[in-house]
Amino acid sequence: MIKIIHIVAGGPEKLVPDLSEYQDENIIWVGVDKGVQMIIGAGLRPDIAVGDFDSILEDEWKRIERLVPSLRKFKPEKDETDMELAIMWALEMNPTSVRIFGGTGGRLDHFMANALMLGKYKQENPNVTFELIDVQNILSVHLPGGYDVKGDEERKFISFIPIFSDVYGLTLKGFKYPLNNHHVPTGSSLCISNELIHETGHFSFEKGILMMIRSKD
């Protein structure tokens, strides 16, 4: 059975897409701290709320207690961020896909931690699809192998960024700037802002972890 978990954090609301467009009967909604209020504000029902909720006012907390069937409240002094606690809970549910909203913009340290966490948990859960989504970008992480990429007129710019280590054997087919069995060092800007020239492209690599970002201007 397909199980998709949507995690909504408390990032800037202007960067969060219309969550109602991502609703489906198979979706499990997880609110992280203030993110639970974004879910409720979109007319959706959170299944669980996770975090220390140190930024939630007392009357807001009473509303959350009334509307959210499951609450996991932690002390502010802890080793994991609220987001990581939410991801850890999500993975206990054996999902096929984890999508994160409200995890970009605002504090740069939170964004970097969220993006790099996807790489960490992808290594530990290779069969789970991880995405970080905002109004302008979709970020995903990939392990060695081959992948098809469908065209998207809205987010036509595609970038590939090695994380944690260099990427080896990167091949891009159907792209404006193709590559063949290329070594891409960590920190390289070689694969920034590429585009598809056909309806479908393909990328593959042999070693490393690759972050793909699909963006619109």
**pLDDT above 90: residue 209:** yes
Q: What share of the chain is helix, strand, coil (3-state, %, to 5)?
A: 25, 35, 40
Q: Are 165 and 186 in contact (CB under 8 A)?
A: yes
Q: Are 166 and 184 in contact (CB under 8 A)?
A: yes
Question: β-strands 167-173, 200-205: how paired?
Answer: antiparallel
Q: Are 177 and 128 in contact (CB under 8 A)?
A: no
Instruction: Provide the number of structural domains found in the chain.
Output: 2
Looking at the fold, whether 60 and 83 belong to one and the same domain comes out as yes
Looking at the fold, whether 147 and 128 belong to one and the same domain comes out as no
Query: Tens digit of pLDDT for each residue in 57-108?
Result: 788 888 888 888 888 888 777 768 889 999 999 999 999 999 999 999 878 8
Looking at the fold, whether 111 and 173 belong to one and the same domain comes out as no
Looking at the fold, whether 125 and 108 belong to one and the same domain comes out as yes
Looking at the fold, whether 81 and 15 belong to one and the same domain comes out as yes
Query: Tens digit of pLDDT for each residue in 135-182?
Result: 999 999 999 999 999 999 889 999 999 999 999 999 999 999 999 999
Looking at the fold, whether 128 and 149 belong to one and the same domain comes out as no
Looking at the fold, whether 39 and 127 belong to one and the same domain comes out as yes
Which phi and psi angles does 82 have, rounded to 5°? -60, -40
The dihedral through the CA atoms of 106, 74, 17, 96 has a sign that is positive
Supply the DSSP symbol for 194.
B
Structural domain ending residue among the three candidates 87, 107, 134: 134
Looking at the fold, whether 207 and 151 belong to one and the same domain comes out as yes
Query: Tens digit of pLDDT for each residue in 15-54?
Result: 999 999 999 878 999 999 889 999 999 999 999 999 888 7
Segments forming the whole domain that contains residue 32: 4-134
Q: Are 65 and 86 in contact (CB under 8 A)?
A: no
Looking at the fold, whether 63 and 111 belong to one and the same domain comes out as yes
Structural domain ending residue among the three candidates 100, 134, 168: 134
Looking at the fold, whether 123 and 184 belong to one and the same domain comes out as no
Query: Tens digit of pLDDT for each residue in 102-137?
Result: 999 878 888 888 899 999 999 999 999 999 999 999
Structural domain ending residue among the three candidates 102, 118, 134: 134
* Largest separation between any pair of C-alpha atoms in the chain: 58
Looking at the fold, whether 73 and 163 belong to one and the same domain comes out as no
CATH code where residue 101 lies: 3.40.50.10240
Looking at the fold, whether 71 and 104 belong to one and the same domain comes out as yes
Residues written for the chain: 217
pTM summary value: 0.90
Q: Return the exposure string of 166-177: e unless at least 16 CB atoms fall within 10 Å of the residue's CB, then b.
A: ebbbbbbbbbee
- Region class of 105: left (phi > 0), else alpha (psi between -120 and 50), else beta: left
